[in-house]
Amino acid sequence: MSNEFQQALNVESAAVFANEPPPESPKRTVAEVNWIVALATIVTAATVFGSGWLYWTGLKALQTQAAQVVDSASGHAHEELTRFIAQTNVWVTQTAGAGVAGSLAVCLLVLLGGAWWRRASLNRIAALSTGSGQRIAQLQSRLADAKLSEEAANQARTELLVRLNNLTQTHSTLQAELNQRKQTEKSLAQQTLQLERSKDVLEMHVTARTQELQKLQRRNELILNSAGEGICGFDLTGRITFVNPAAARITGWRIEDMLGKTEEEIFFPLKSRGTAKGAALLKNEKGEHLSEQAFYRRDGSSFPVEYLRSDIREKDKTVGAVVMFKDITERKLAEDKLAHKAAELARSNAELEQFAFVASHDLQEPLRKIQAFGDRLKLKCEAVQLQEGRDYLDRMQNAAARMQTLINDLLTFSRVISSSQPFVPVDLGAVTREVLVDLEHRIEKTQARVEVGTLPTIHADPLQMRQLLQNLIGNALKFQAPNNVPVVKIDAQMVTRDQISEEAVFPKPPPTARPDDKFCVLTVQDNGIGFEEQYLEKIFAVFQRLHGRSEYEGTGVGLAVCRRITDRHDGLITAQSKPGEGAIFIVILPLRQPKVEVAK
């Protein structure tokens, strides 16, 4: 049966490959017959089972009723009933047997019909197999060809899939490269645009910078051409590459003649001609050029110059040199005249100081005799009670006393220079305390209050510092309004030259001071009568007074002595005041002297 089914399957497959409709399937027919047989069997079994179940149930019910009847009936009736039950049982059994036999007959007929139907189907299948044997062979051959074609197609499909995969990968790679190239081209376009913009901006900057450089170059050329000093540029071989008009004018050359010549040919033309030997640039012991040189003009005339030579460096490499020189003939003449005048002035001052010192000493003796003889005449006038003569003698002695004071002040003023001491460290605080002890009587008499701040130690002449402070403090106590209690404040602070320049309250610093030099600014402030600042220079002059002798005592020499002391110490003295508001005397002294005098 399996072979038949296999043949039917082959026929169906061959029909499919031949693109023809397949014959009716025997397997489908057998399946239908099997279903019919199975259904008939199930119906027969159900019929037999139902008949048996009815028989059994009826028999049980009949026996139950018979038993009830037997129990209630007599013996004859019981026998009849038993017989009836037996006959009924036979009848029922026959009836059930007939039903079962009929059912079995039906089943048999169904089985016989199914077997017939099966045999007919098998015959039909055999006929179909016999009729289509050659066709099946042809179909099998075509099927084998189809399999070969399918295998070739599968192989070609596999190759196509591989090639498709390769093409896909290649396409992806090319697409990625294309995208990257597009991005690169886009970025390149943006960069090109930015570069074009930057180029425009750069060109604008370059143009502006070029214009600025050209302006700067023209300005530098104008500056060099307008400079009063001679300026020459030299290359590494020592030949002139640039020269300004001032250099040509000073040396007597033309600019075009100077270009290409050496420094010796321009500044020492006689030596280059062999007519003057030994003329050359002067140098110090270290081999450095001196700042002052002697040059020669083209005509051979000599003139002094202020000389400066500097190397031209580019990227830490010397590429040439520049020389600047200035004709200082007039300055030399002025210096010579000034030195001559200074010598004459020094000699005159020395003679004047000597004269004042000698005159003061020579005046001491007659003045003492006038005072001595005046005292004797005063005693005799008192004896004879000559009042008018006594009055004359008092006036004469007062004049002699003023003369004595004036001579002493004049001696003090002359001794500031002639009798000066070397500079040593001086504690201004200690000197101030000593001066206050000397002025103790005046301080107690006027009930003055003196406030002394912290005062530094400086290099100075101790005696002259004492004279300076005594004059300033004495003036502060003396020039007071009547019935006014003097208040004197003495203080100091340390400052630099720049701080002195910035503070308007200070005078200008000494011209020789360096920016980092330190100074002591000493101030003496009072609450006295004050003065008009228009008379500031007058109060520091010798024998100059703003008030009469009847108002305030003195000869007008004290502040002149103070100025002379500050001048000797390379310092300054000034004052600030208003009438009725007191005065502030400001003294600026160097903390250390540039050249400290050492006592022998």
Residue 263's Cα: distance from chain center in Å?
48
* Residue 241: per-residue pLDDT: 87
Q: How confident is the model at residue 429 (pLDDT cuts 50, 70, 90)?
A: very high
Beta carbons of 128 and 23 less than 8 angstroms apart: yes
Query: Is residue 323 within 8 Å of 263, Cβ to Cβ?
Result: yes
What pLDDT, in 10s, does the model give residues 197-216?
Answer: 888 888 888 888 888 888 88
Reported as a single tens digit per residue, the pLDDT across 485-530 is 899 999 998 887 766 655 544 555 555 556 667 889 999 999 888 8
pLDDT tens digit sequence for 327-342: 888 888 888 888 888 8
Given a cut of 50, is residue 600 above it in pLDDT?
no
pLDDT band at 432 (very low <50, low <70, confident <90, very high): very high
> Higher model confidence: residue 330 or residue 25?
330
pLDDT, position 11 = 45
Q: Region 186-206: what's the mean pLDDT?
A: 86
Is pLDDT of 16 > 50?
Answer: no
Average pLDDT value for residue range 316-331: 87
Task: Judge contact between 400 and 374, C-beta under 8 A.
Answer: yes
Q: Are 570 and 424 in contact (CB under 8 A)?
A: no
> Which of left, alpha, beta for 403 (phi over 0: left; psi -120 to 50: alpha)?
alpha
124 pLDDT higher than 90? no
Average pLDDT over residues 298-313: 86
Q: Which two tokens stand for residue 163?
A: 């090639």
Residue 400's nearest CA partner among 408, 557, 556 is 408
354-364 mean pLDDT: 63
For residue 142, pLDDT over 60 is answered with yes
Q: Give the Cα separation of 201 and 554 in Å (integer).
A: 81
Residue 143 is encoded by which pair of tokens?
Answer: 């099927």
Across 11-20, 32-41, 282-291, 403-412, the highest mean pLDDT is recorded for 282-291
Q: What is the DSSP letter of 14?
A: H
pLDDT score at 359: 60
Q: Which pLDDT belongs to residue 33? A: 61
Residue 30 scores a pLDDT above 90: no
Token pair for residue 445? 């008499």
* Tokens representing residue 126 in the block: 């055999």
Q: What's the rounded mean pLDDT across residues 126-147?
A: 78
Indicate whether 184 pLDDT > 70.
Answer: yes
pLDDT score, position 512 = 53
The 3-state secondary structure of 179-208, one letter per residue: HHHHHHHHHHHHHHHHHHHHHHHHHHHHHH
Distance, in Å, from the CA atom of 558 to the CA atom of 471, rounded to the nearest integer, reads 6
- In eight-state DSSP terms, residue 23 is P
C-alpha 334, offset from chain centre: 54
How confident is the model at residue 386, as a pLDDT?
67
Torsion of CA 462, 464, 467, 470, to 10 degrees: -50
Tens-digit pLDDT profile for residues 544-599: 666 555 566 656 677 888 888 888 888 888 888 888 888 899 998 888 876 544 44
pLDDT at position 357, please? 63
